[in-house]
Structure 1
Amino acid sequence: MHAIGIDIGGTKIAGAVVDQLGSIVASERVATPAGDSALLEDAVVQMIDSLRAGADEEIVAIGVAAAGFVDAAQSTVYYAPNIDWRNEPFREKLEARVGTAVVVDNDANAAGWAEFRFGAGRLVSDMVMLTIGTGVGGAIVAGDRLFRGGFGAGAELGHLRVVPDGLACGCGQRGCIEQYGSGRALLRMANEIADAGGIGQALARARTEHGGLDGRLVGGLIESGDDGAVAALRQLGSWLGQAAASLSAVLDPQRFVFGGGVAIAGELLLEPIRAAYRDHLPARGYHPEPDFVIAELVNDAGVVGAADLARVWVAEHA
């Protein structure tokens, strides 16, 4: 019951043969020809052919994960921000070329499903995952089923509004959690603390020495326990905790899973998330509280989740 998972990112395409237990049997990576949809399709087909040729067992399905809006039929990509896709019937095109069942899904959905099935979300039936990278991605599992919404574009959790008339977001609205709980937001907060002096002195020095702050520099200072960098992380965690409390009022998950580059901070991130969650949870004391954990599969979540979603689709439609 092996399946192939393909994770299409803005800069790279990752592919893997994945078994039914979520283990990667073989994998490949190539650069993404993001500006040319025909070349991108060719690159995916070549990767599938290569992975299939080296597989010891039959490939029962192929799953593709990509950033963007995918329809509820897991077939057409309405819109992909980093790829030249607009209403792209990618499933139909791939199936015609590879002769195997193909399923297309959002990359955050794929990563969240992988964590639910094989990682930090296993053993619960209801889970929310927030991926804290350059932006904020999300996935929802409710009653053991991945939630996509009526049109397939649900669970865009990064665009939950937390500040009325707040910071402008790339989605066209203001005050989205993506502007307060992302890696980009962490850098903004770190720069503000550096500007203020005091506990921001180490941040200010690093900024001067390197010509600016980036995730690596701020992450290193967080790891070393610098007061200013940790304060920025606590601000970020507080916003994420507030968002989690709002999500709990609607979804009532048993577990929140946090992934992405910022989640490397582990308990330093989770502690302020838990504190803010409790401060903003409706009916606190009478509402069961979920677990807050760090994702386990890291960079493999996209390909593992895409492969397993394809395997599940084939089993349900057999």
Structure 2
Amino acid sequence: MNTQHAVGIDVGGTGIKGALVDTQAGELLSERIKYPTPEGGTPGDIFEVIAQIVDDCGPDAAGLPLGVCVPSVVKNGRTLTAANISTEWVGLDAEEALEDRLGRDIVFLNDADSAGVAEAHYGEAVGQEGLTILTTLGTGIGSALIQDGVLIPNTELGHLELDGEVAEHRSSAVARQRLGQSFEQWAAGLERYYLHLNRLFSPDLFLLGGGVSKEADQFLHLISLPVPIRTAALRNNAGILGAAFLAHNTRNSR
């Protein structure tokens, strides 16, 4: 068993994906395995898919650290919220329940936090000093704060109120589509959102992630901020890589 290897799994509202990871190089060692998220997104059904992905990673995954990121605030292994998954996750001792199901140690964390950790160790924020704020723009807005490479967990900056409205209701990628906005129109509101974050947190770097980052050339140049804003590097692998990294480091620190 290679002591640098781990398994990372990223649970989303529409898909669950995972892979075997080399945590030293920050690379996938297997094909990215993906299954649709079961309808309703209940813990039991999602646990079954996670177990299948671990099996699909093959015998090399046996006994390796396993990290799982989910669209939820996670404290001490308990999921406290649920975004695009069943409300059965709210208040669930998810880490303990999945450990019982799989018979192995698990590390649970928020999906945006996982992406932020990955960017800090393998991506666009490697070696970045000070505060980096990653935002993932999708159905809502996820966020991760990284201070000198260290995660500050469970920030929910998409839920900030701005101009009397929850920010993600106007500035997420899905909100642009729902409102029928052009990228130019959307970018104006997005700039307002980032300026608000800058006023509150004074970061040294913004990173823009999520599926819409593939289209960053359509709008990023329209956003003018007093600090740099760049596209996150790791795209769809960020959650997997961050979960695997934290699972590996957690085991080694015990």
TM-score category of the 2 structures, normalised to the smaller one: 0.7 to 0.9
Q: What residue is the counterpart of 1:180 in the other structure?
A: 170
AA in 1 matched with 2:96: E
Q: What residue is the counterpart of 2:241 in the other structure?
A: 304
In 1, Cα distance between the equivalents of 2:92 and 2:110? 13
Which aligned segments of 4 or more residues in structure 1 are displaced greater than 6 angstroms?
none
Determine which of 215, 226, 231 is the counterpart of 1:294. Answer: 231
TM normalised by structure 1 equals 0.71
In 1, Cα distance between the equivalents of 2:36 and 2:218? 34
Determine which of 1, 4, 7 is the counterpart of 2:7. Answer: 4
In 2, Cα distance between the equivalents of 1:298 and 1:3? 19
Check conservation: 1:160, 1:243, Cα contact below 8 A: no
Which shifted more, 76-85 or 121-130?
Answer: 76-85
In 1, Cα distance between the equivalents of 2:189 and 2:253? 40
In 2, Cα distance between the equivalents of 1:157 and 1:314? 29
In 2, Cα distance between the equivalents of 1:49 and 1:29? 13
User: Deviation at 1:88?
Assistant: 1.6
AA in 1 matched with 2:36: A
AA in 2 matched with 1:96: D
Check conservation: 1:109, 1:146, Cα contact below 8 A: yes
Count of residue pairs brought into register by the alignment: 245
In 2, Cα distance between the equivalents of 1:37 and 1:101? 17
Q: What residue is the counterpart of 1:158 in the other structure?
A: 158
AA in 1 matched with 2:161: R
User: Deviation at 1:258?
Assistant: 0.3
In 1, Cα distance between the equivalents of 2:48 and 2:64? 21
Larger radius of gyration: 1
1:238 aligns with 2:191: yes
Return the structure number with greater helix share: 1
What pairs up with 1:1-318 in 2 under 5 angstroms? 1-20=4-23, 21-26=25-30, 27-35=32-40, 36-53=42-59, 55=60, 59-71=63-75, 73=76, 75-84=77-86, 85-125=89-129, 126-148=131-153, 154-163=154-163, 166=164, 175-187=165-177, 190-191=180-181, 229-247=182-200, 250=201, 252-273=202-223, 275=224, 277-278=225-226, 290-317=227-254
Check conservation: 1:130, 1:136, Cα contact below 8 A: yes
In 1, Cα distance between the equivalents of 2:169 and 2:64? 40
Q: Give the gaps of 5 or more residues in structure 1.
A: 149-153, 167-174, 192-228, 279-289
TM normalised by structure 2 equals 0.87
In 2, Cα distance between the equivalents of 1:97 and 1:135? 30
Check conservation: 2:135, 2:141, Cα contact below 8 A: yes
AA in 2 matched with 1:299: N
Q: What residue is the counterpart of 1:216 in the other structure?
A: none
- Distance 1:188-1:235 versus aligned 2 partners, 3 A rule: farther
Question: Secondary structure of the residue that 1:79 maps to in structure 2?
Answer: coil
- Distance 1:262-1:236 versus aligned 2 partners, 3 A rule: farther
Question: Secondary structure of the residue that 2:127 maps to in structure 1?
Answer: coil
Identical-residue share of aligned pairs (%): 31
User: Deviation at 1:144?
Assistant: 2.1
Q: Give the gaps of 5 or more residues in structure 2.
A: none
In 2, Cα distance between the equivalents of 1:267 and 1:40? 35
In 1, Cα distance between the equivalents of 2:80 and 2:249? 23
Question: Secondary structure of the residue that 2:81 maps to in structure 1?
Answer: strand
Check conservation: 1:4, 1:59, Cα contact below 8 A: no
